[in-house]
Structure 1
Amino acid sequence: MSNKELNRIEKLAQIPLFNSFSKDKESLEKLDSICSIRDYSNEAVVIAEGDNGDEMFIVLDGKVEIRKRTRSGDEYTVVQLEAKHNVFFGELAIVSDGERSATVVAKSESTFIVMTKSNFESFCEDHPRLGLHITKEILKTVAERLRKTNDDMLTIFDALVNEIKNS
């Protein structure tokens, strides 16, 4: 096994989606076998909000910026993240059809571990226990993000109500 392959497996072990088998090298190797590596240059769009997608990305090396568009079309930066933060995105695309909810831009020369929906589905058929664990972790991630979004909306609503009361 090459150093690059070891680095990929070590990175997979650090990603929260794979927590349930992060110490099981054999399972991580099975997962790694369905992934590919893709490089992007600085400022390259990795995924675009509104596009359909069927790939999940894990930042192996580099930095990314998550961007959202307002209804009026203005784009703003939500957050910048680095590989050391164990960043993954696009996970919904491997379990569900739909449009990308944000744009992700490489903010340096960046390398990604990429998993396609079809490869993940085949993996789940061949390794149902591991597929179930990953799917449950994706659901937990979505639930956490939904809770945070609900909390953010309440904060905005409270601020709006207070502004109206005080004017």
Structure 2
Amino acid sequence: MSINEEVELLKTVPIFSKIEPAKLKLIAFTSDRMTFDVGQELCHQGDIGDAMYVILGGSADVLIDSPNGPIKVAELRRNGFFGEMAILCDMPRTATVKAHEKLTALKIPKEMFFRLVAEFPQMAVEIMRELAHRVEDMNGKLAAAQAA
């Protein structure tokens, strides 16, 4: 895939939609495009968070370790992203992410992530929105589990 094709693809990702094409080229150039097969881990709970990922195609399961084995807490699809919490909080990964089907992702290094957030406040707002949705979703799941 050419840089221009990657830029067109990045324009469809909500957190990048307000970024000018020249900067999207920089993201495409400085990030790694990765492919994962079914069942392959993109990251593992407890690992150091050195990058965030944006899913360009396919889907992945978000799994949390428990005494009874992994628990699926979410599914990520095209345009979804993860890994930002480990970068923002400078903490280990909070979950394992495993490809549910063949998946293509863009791996954005920590330094580039902070540069983008500093240059594009709208990107930071979109990330905060997504984090708020995740908290709301988790609260709903916890309430349902307590009621059961």
TM-score between both structures, scaled by the size of structure 1: 0.73
Q: Which residue of 1 aligns with 2:5?
A: 7
Amino acid at match of 2:49: G
Match of 2:119 among 129, 137, 156: 129
1:123 CA drift (Å): 4.4
Structure 1 stretches lacking a partner, 5+ long = 161-167
1:44 matches 2:44: no
SS of the residue corresponding to residue 43 of structure 1 reads: coil
SS of the residue corresponding to residue 33 of structure 1 reads: helix
1:98 matches 2:94: no
1:141 matches 2:97: no
TM-superposition CA deviations, 1:90-121 (whole Å, max 9, x none): 12233221121211112333321110112223
Regions of 4+ moved over 6 Å: none
TM-superposition CA deviations, 1:110-154 (whole Å, max 9, x none): 321110112223445xxx431x22222222211221122223323
Number of aligned residue pairs: 148
Aligned CA distance change for structure 1 residues 63 and 153 (closer, same or farther; 3 Å)? closer
CA contact (8 A) 2:52 2:113 kept: no
TM-score between both structures, scaled by the size of structure 2: 0.81
Question: What percent identity do the matched residue pairs reach?
Answer: 24
Q: Which residue of 1 aligns with 2:60?
A: 64
Match of 2:73 among 60, 64, 78: 78
Structure 2 stretches lacking a partner, 5+ long = none
Aligned CA distance change for structure 1 residues 105 and 98 (closer, same or farther; 3 Å)? same
1:88 matches 2:81: yes
Cα-Cα RMSD: 2.4
CA contact (8 A) 1:39 1:111 kept: yes
1:26 matches 2:2: no
Aligned CA distance change for structure 1 residues 96 and 10 (closer, same or farther; 3 Å)? farther
